Chains A and B, each alone.
Chain A
Amino acid sequence: MSLSVELENLAGQFEKELAATSSPEDLEALRVAFMGRKGRLAALMALLGQAPPEERPALGRRANEIKKLFQDLLEGRAAVLRRPAAAAEFFDPSLPGRLPAQGSLHPITLVMNEICALLERIGFEVVSGPEAETDFHNFTALNFPEEHPARAMQDTLYLGGDTLLRTHTSPVQVRAMLEYKKPPLAVIVPGKVYRRDSDLTHTPMFHQIEGLLVDKSVSLADLRGTLAYFARSLFGREVRTRFRPSFFPFTEVSAEVDISCILCGGKGHRGGENCRVCKGAGWLEILGSGMVHPNVFKAVGFDSECTGFAFGLGVERVAMLKYGIGDLRLLFENDVRFLAQFA
């Protein structure tokens, strides 16, 4: 057997025996047996002089490599054997973990994201517009007559001149139609809106999501389908919607939309008592909607024969229903004990 083959065999045997060691003592014995002054590697090295002279440099290099390899393997194995055995120390799995910082999105953002996402899935595009608006975009183009009580439906905060804080997200309908120039368009507008109103159930700033679809033959049936899809996606498959005729200057047919109460399922009572969420009505008013008024199309230069629907909902109301938040003001106090629950 040539020296070179014996060297390789030695390496194989070393690895095998190394794997069988189970203590530092075993390891030391192995080191002495293979790498000691009288060890097996030394024994082979002693035979080097007998090899043909032309092979000696290569064999010498290989022997050195193997020696280095043995050293590395011994160190590695030593590290493994040094690891304490599980039973050796007390391992307490119940100690508190090292927590990463846990951030959160505001529940209003969560609800807006969810609503935008589910409407984007059926083809709506998210657009936005300014919070400071002109009277034209906020009222006039939306068919609010000058000096008509319809304007008083929304108490406005004015910034001077013709500028005001938008009272609804609907002015973005106008901006979107002016930008698109012609149908079709399908947009949703999430954003902040402002009214001069502050009490237990109103804050002067709140959030709305507006939807607008305009095309050649959009019908009330499409509006009903879209909102039924919306309500089921958001609150569950069993939720029903109810349309009640109403009035908004910029839609005609106008409807308020109720959903069956998410707590009592529309029965109006629970456990023999009036439902505390719907106050016994069985229905929850959730948004306003309708078919776009021809005057709005006129104001933005669209053909008044096109058809479309629009809807708008209050995000706070949805967030309160969805998460069971009883007090509107919690949404704007930014109490970290509140915010951190939405992580």
Chain B
Amino acid sequence: MLLSLKWLREFVPYAGTAEELGATLTMLGLEMEELRRPYEDLADLLVGLVLERGPHPAADHLSVCKVDTGTEVLEIVCGAPNVGQGQYVAVAPAGARLPGGIRIRKARLRGVRSNGMICSERELGLSDEHGGIMVLRELAAGVLRPGQALTEALNLDTEVLDISVTPNRPDCLSVLGLAREVALACKLPLTLPALDREGVDCGGGGLEKLDLEVESGEISPFYQLRLIDRLKVRPAPAWMRWRLNACGQRPISNLVDVTNYVMLELGQPLHSFDFSRVRGGRVRVAPALEGEKLLTLDGQERILTSRDITIRDAEGPIGLAGVMGGAGTAIDESSTAVMLEGAVFDAASIYRTSRRLGLPSEAASRFAHGVDQAMTPFALERAALLIARLGEGRLGASPLTSALRPARAPALRLRKARAELLLGVPLEDSFCEETLRALGFAVQESGREEGSPVWTAVPPSYRPDIGGEADLVEELARVYGLDRIPEVIPRISRSLERAGLPESGHAFLTRVKNWASGAGLNETINYSFTGQEDLDFLGVKKDGRVGIVNPLSAEQGVLRPVLAPGLLQALRNNLAQGASGLRFFEAAAVFSADSGSPTGTGVREDYRLGFLLYGDRHAGAWPRKPEDAAYLDLKGLVEAFVSWLDLPEPEFVLSREAPRWLDQAAAVLVRGEYAGSLGRVKPELADAFHARKEVWLAELPLDKLRDLSAGSGLKFKALPLYPPVRRDITVIAPLGLESAALLKAIREARLEHLQEVFLLDLYAPEGSGERHLTYRLVFRHPERTLLDEEVDGIRNKAAKYLLENLKVRI
């Protein structure tokens, strides 16, 4: 809401500055977002009095004027035909800046010195008028003085506060509503504009024969029409145009501008119909017929539904109530009779219709928030008088009214004790009563509870937001000043029932993130949505995707079912910045459709941990060798993570379940159950993300791993008392035989006292079709030192077992 300080002062004698007003309103809950100075670019302009107009010696169309600007008399060369002695004019003295940034300089025009410029309206940006200079006499309010600031002489709205009005305060979408708040806060009297009939012909008629029918009080509790005829359409007077301009409304004509003016002033949207185009002497307010069409003012054909409220004449709809008028009855230059509507419509219907049609007008917004029914007749009267005056027309003697439902005013209970409990401060009885009265409430003490008064308060008609005790407490708090309430750290009582519950999902996720950053990975946070095409590109299956109905763009059209698209996007962003090595992780939810989801949303959310490795294995350069991350780096991370969860060593198996965007991929099995996948992003896909090196990606289901690890906990194992004995065994195996198979065979050989076995070295002679794998066997006896000969025997048993069971050499 744009509030002009000058306009406000027509309602309350506020003496402070615009900045102070902004601060006051802000602390009342009406935040000033910006202080605008719409006529700032006229600051250098002065009122001048033309003392003398003489001919220019060298040019017929120019004149030489002597102009009194208060402190001096300037000689100015002027080309306007209408300049004349005794006129008050707008002067830009040399050095002044005009709107648009032009600076006026001393100049010689055809040999005569000119010390400034006398301006036209267009040169001042006030209108398109450029037929001659602006003569101030007719335009200015009050007495003119040479040297006076032009903005002051024209009474321009130089300071306009942009106030952010919250949806609960529709009353403050008007100068009047904000003036009420200022009157309250500054204890000032409030004056409504006078309904001035002086000089207006109020003897018209015309609506007597009109048949008005409102279908129900539900759709329009109050509906009123006035007729003004014999009108002349012309521009509104300058003061009104300038004011509307300052308040963000484009002036159109006297008839239209008045409705906008009164809406801004009193908060009541009004609509003008061209009465000559209302057919059949009939006006109905009723729901539209399903599928019916209406050409609206903006030239669009709208298809209506039975949930839209229409204004109709004998033949059909002539307007969408509260949202936009129809083109058929629109006011234009030829209009001479205006049927002016002042009404209240069902707020929810207006909201629905304006949202559905994408027509968020100032009027619709006010109706949707709720207008003050009690103010409607006054606003209509004020607008009708203004239209009659400015259009030199004739106002009908009386309005045509349908008042089906009076405005509701609930009687609300307010317990002082409750207010004190909620606010945490003691309150004076008188403060409570006086505050509510000042806010327009009718207040009465209706009893006492435990020695503390209970009041009945009836809110004023302009406060539809007040519906209960809590709202009354808020009003008290707002006026008391929220900043005067003390600051106390609460004593939070906690229930023993919450003690010893399993670790929360959030706590687990936090631990996982800490582990991952400790493992040398950088956390990324990617959007939860991606594009259907991105998923198709990776080969993500189509079923189970959760689409967004109204996405901002196709690239954000679907919730991610896997972490891969986001991590790859992060890769792309970094490669564009020349990154040569990345070690990323993300721990976040992925989404899939699931009608049985426990949240009741039809969407299943699973938390996943994703790793992405690319390029440089190590941070920094020397002394490490430059090497690129490879499968074993990624696998090592997965192994370390699984081990950190106190789970047994996972298996890594080639699997058809591996995601389609990976090759050289493996599935992770923990206790035989699927627990994620890892591998290389297919080079042809990686290429699309501008990767020049291999991209390694893993995704692990966190919820699953957490369930698997539940109860495994840390357990201390006693340290061994006797030393281990180690034996190595080198197996020459054909390519295609996995290390895991060799290990499995060694374990199957049931070797006595074998404590652990691991790969010590790997060598693959080129072109041999074989690999040499050296395993270290560690033996230990819990109660004695093993003898060399004993251990040699066991090792030989292992070698024999391998030779017998696998196609290997030792």
Chain A residues engaging chain B, CB cutoff 8 angstroms: 95-96, 98-106, 108-109, 113, 116, 122-134, 145-150, 152-153, 157-161, 163, 165, 184, 186, 190, 192, 194, 196-198, 204-205, 213, 215, 217-222, 224-226, 228-229, 241-247, 252-256, 291, 293-294, 307, 331-337, 339-340, 343
Contacts and interface: CB of A to CB of B under 8 A. Distances in A.
A191 to B, nearest CB: 8
Contact of B498 (A125, A128, A205): A125
A247 B583 contact: no
Nearest to A248: B166
Given A103-B518, A241-B487, 19 more contacts: A99-B618, A103-B521, A103-B585, A105-B517, A106-B525, A116-B506, A123-B494, A126-B504, A130-B599, A131-B591, A132-B559, A147-B351, A159-B603, A186-B494, A219-B424, A253-B474, A333-B570, A334-B584, A335-B573
Nearest to B469: A294
Kindly state the interface size class of chain B when it binds its partner.
Answer: 35 or more
Interface string B481-508: 0110111111111110010000011110
A122 B494 CA distance: 11
A102 B477 contact: no
A148 B354 CA distance: 12
Given A147-B348, A335-B577, A336-B574, A226 B489 contact: yes
B743 interface: no
Contacts of B550: 157-158, 196
A227 to B, nearest CB: 8
B644 to A, nearest CB: 14
Contact of A213 (B490, B524, B621): B490
Most buried by A among B518, B523, B550, B559: B523
A278 to B, nearest CB: 14
Contacts of B191: none
B26 A221 contact: no
B487 A219 contact: no
Nearest to A245: B29
A128 B28 contact: no
B490 A218 contact: yes
Interface of B: 26-29, 31, 166-169, 347-349, 351-352, 355, 365, 368-369, 421-425, 468-471, 473-474, 477-478, 482-483, 485-495, 498, 504-507, 510, 513-514, 516-529, 546-552, 556, 559, 570, 573-574, 577, 579, 582-585, 588-589, 591, 599-603, 605, 618-624
Given A101-B520, A334-B570, A219 B602 contact: no
B583 A103 contact: yes
Nearest to B489: A225
Contacts of A96: 620-623
A123 B505 CA distance: 19
19 contacts: A99-B624, A106-B523, A126-B506, A157-B551, A190-B506, A197-B552, A205-B527, A215-B492, A219-B422, A220-B423, A220-B482, A224-B485, A244-B27, A245-B477, A253-B477, A253-B482, A336-B574, A336-B582, A340-B522
Contacts, number: 277
B514 A105 contact: yes
B482 A221 contact: no
Contacts of B510: 113
B348 A146 contact: yes
- The 10 A-B pairs of least Cβ separation, nearest first, read A101-B520, A221-B424, A245-B29, A219-B424, A123-B492, A247-B166, A243-B482, A103-B517, A132-B603, A222-B490
Contacts of A147: 348-349, 351-352
Contacts of B31: 244, 246, 256
A161 to B, nearest CB: 7
Contact of A101 (B351, B525, B583): B583
A339 B516 CA distance: 14
A225 B487 contact: yes
Contacts of B469: 294
B649 to A, nearest CB: 22
Contacts of B516: 103
A255 B482 contact: yes
A95 B623 contact: yes
Contacts of B368: 148-149
Given A132-B605, A160-B547, A291 B487 contact: no
A252 B474 contact: yes
B506 A334 contact: no
Contact of B495 (A184, A228, A334): A184
Given A163-B602, A247-B167, A102 B520 contact: yes
Most buried by A among B352, B468, B470, B513: B470
Contacts of B524: 106, 334, 339
Most buried by A among B487, B519, B591: B487
